[in-house]
A and B are shown apart, each in its own frame.
Chain A
Amino acid sequence: MTTDTAQQESIELTPQQLFRKQAAGEAILPNEEDSVHRHVITVLIDDTIGALNRVTNLFSQRGFNLESVTVGESKDPTQRRLTLVTTGNDRIIAQVLRQLNSLVDTTEVEDLTREDHVERELCLVKVRSSATERTALLSVVEVFRANVVNITPDSLTFEVTGPTAKINAFIGVMKDYDVREVARSGRVAMRRRLAFEH
């Protein structure tokens, strides 16, 4: 299809077809791309066998992206809290939220992306370093407030916590050294305020 005919087709859209595309976050012009965003979603699920499975299964079943998922205990011992990171256009994100909500195991689903929220990720990095290199390395990681959690004669293991951008920056700096292993927790997130504070 040439650009001219493509342009023409887009002009021929009815007002309703335009509305639908905008509501879905889909491209209006043929050479445009869908407006895809990254979303952070927190989910409370019952602490039962198979509940986590149902959540992750939903993503593969429905063809949604799942960038990271963290799971752990919540305030309530009968519930676990998940933080999911997913991407998609508005129609897909709305679907992710509705489908998550319709699972019997989920009690609360919240998209934090447009809310004022904090995000943290934990990362462990193991770097090969001899005793002579150690001091230089330690002064670099100091900038990131990374902790040394283990030392062996040949290696150092750091722990760094922060927003994903900080973790990415830290790993970027460490690439100048002999990185042997990286383990990231994936994001956990929470609203800054209580629900009634606005």
Chain B
Amino acid sequence: MSQQAHTAQTATAPSADMTATDRPLATGAEILIRSLEAEGVEYVFGHPGGAVIAIYDEMHRLQPSFEHILVRHEQGGTHAAEGYAKATGKVGTVLVTSGPGATNCVTGIADAYMDSIPLVVFTGQVPTHLIGNDAFQECDTIGVTRSITKHSFLVRDVTELAATVKKAYHLARTGRPGPVVVDLPKDVIAARAPFHYPENVQIRGYSVIGRGNVDQVRKAADMIAASKKPLFYVGGGTIISGGAEKLTALAHKTSIPVTTTLHGLGSFPETDPLSVGMLGMHGTWYANMAVQNTDLLIAVGARFDDRVTGKIEAWAPHARIIHIDIDPACISKNIPVDCPILGDVSMVLDQLEELVQPADRSDWLGQIAAWREECPLIFERDGALRPQQVVQALRGKTNGEAVVVTDVGQNQMWGAQFFSYVHPRSHITSGGLGTMGFSLPAAMGAAFGMRTIGRDVISINGDGGVLMNIQELGVAAAHKLPLKVVILNNNFLGMVRQWQELFHEERYSHTNLEPTNPDFVKLAEAFGCVGLQCTDPADVDSTLDAAWEITDRPVVMDFRVITEEKVFPMVPAGAATDNMITAQFSPEDCA
């Protein structure tokens, strides 16, 4: 570049070529807000407090491009961000104050860590000179969250703030996603620096894995060709990587049946003849039988969780295992595998697709069909209102075109078993941590994410979990979200009750919620929502029809289901996977 051109450019071009010192100074608060805008953030779920008041003040002044959602509890905020992230595939953002604001986020952060959900959580912190002095609302947030985050940052200098935000989003989004905490001391937020949001990010010691090793992929293709009874075991990583359609195509090409984990629901259409449903503790009998008899298990973005494997020594005893995963630490963590392929699931499936050939697997598929006939997924229809009927009715009402967010416990398992998912990102739940109180705020977050698309969002709850973050109902109402909140109300902590009945000689210790349950219809109305109650199985459809009439606020549906209903099939904790209790056989027959 000539001298003349150089001077001309510096004279006319504004921000792009200015050196750092030329730019106007901005406060840390403004830098944070501008960075979030540059990152394309749509929603920030947050709650103000002393340490972050300056950020909220700048938000008031700047009117940023993102929308801030004032949640009523920080835990609800983190779950809302999780729900938003799961439904959209984007990074969820949370902003809270120091001390209790940060500790209230811990459950949500741990939940996101277990379920590989991309979150960036900004926490306020006391001024740097007070850190370690037990100042008011001080908490060692980085220390508390160390083992439940993918990474965390304490920003000590305002000049590093923008680059740190960039790194945080990059870390949260790429590789195996996860939560990242950015701790912001109050004096850093107040200090001034020129704002410049970096375009690229370089983190030594962190690289994003892409394609799989060619030799390993070839080996896997050979193993598939040699297998008589192969089975896809598909987890949430497939959906995260955007590989669901590729998996479906690969399964069709090779005629290999597919079982999914809880988080894998939706990665392969359950209406497809090759689908054998969910596996594991409450998976289908035929999926678990397929696992126990397969000679080649192809694990795709799954992590061999104990709720999937049961007694690990006895799991899939005849199977050679191919494991495709992006996280090296997941390889051979719980079970040594024969052919690990480290890579982005979507890319590896592409590589594999080129090498595999169609094959006739009718014997193996016939065997699975026989198991399915022997013990299908059913429930009793005897005139009592059963939760499974409600879930099936929801499926019928929406034709599967909805995002279903379940809580934890029996409602979660019925929601997984009887909805028959066909789309990726249509099923959201707290699988790893098992956080009761997850569904309502997560569904709210998902509903924000689906606002422009207009897709229905259904929150399925028990009467236990729904109260744990019920305060967010007011937030959903204030934003006129047409959320459908289903409560499968059996007046019990149902899953614990089920274990007590089956394994603790019917000693129902502290699981009866009837004395403390509210009137859910009145509760809904008090929050500005519509409340409906249904006690008769004949009224289920009309209740849903009435609920779907309402489009300008949440509807809470209190389904008074029978208390005694249990989730079957069930592999008792620590038992071998083929040692199942099913609805068709009594526990004695299976023991």
Which A residues fall within an 8 A CB radius of B? 14, 16-17, 19-20, 23-24, 45-46, 49-50, 53-54, 57, 61, 91, 94-95, 98-99, 101-107
Contact = CB atoms under 8 A, between A and B. Distances in A.
Contact of B328 (A24, A45, A101): A101
| Prevailing SS type, chain B contact patch | loop
Contacts of B318: 14, 16
A45 B151 CA distance: 14
A20 B147 contact: no
A193 B154 CA distance: 39
A17 to B, nearest CB: 6
Contacts of B142: 50
Given A14-B318, A16-B318, A23 B204 contact: no
B338 interface: yes
A94 B316 CA distance: 22
A33 B203 CA distance: 42
A57 B146 contact: yes
Contact of B317 (A17, A24, A99): A17
Q: List the 5 closest A-B pairs by CB distance, nearest first.
A: A23-B336, A107-B205, A98-B329, A61-B147, A104-B151
A127 B380 CA distance: 81
Looking at chain A's contact residues, is the secondary structure mostly helix, strand, loop, or mixed?
helix
7 contacts: A45-B205, A46-B205, A49-B154, A98-B333, A104-B203, A105-B205, A106-B205
Interface of B: 142-143, 146-147, 150-152, 154, 156, 171, 203-206, 313, 316-320, 327-329, 331-333, 335-336, 338
Given A46-B204, A54-B146, A105-B205, A20 B336 contact: yes
A107 B204 contact: yes
A22 to B, nearest CB: 8
Nearest to B205: A107
Given A19-B338, A24-B336, A57 B205 contact: no
Contacts of A20: 335-336
A94 B206 CA distance: 19
Contact of B205 (A94, A98, A103): A103
Contact of A23 (B156, B327, B332): B332
B332 A99 contact: no
Contacts of A49: 154, 156
Given A19-B338, A102-B327, A95 B146 contact: no
A169 B496 CA distance: 57
A101 B327 CA distance: 10
B110 to A, nearest CB: 12
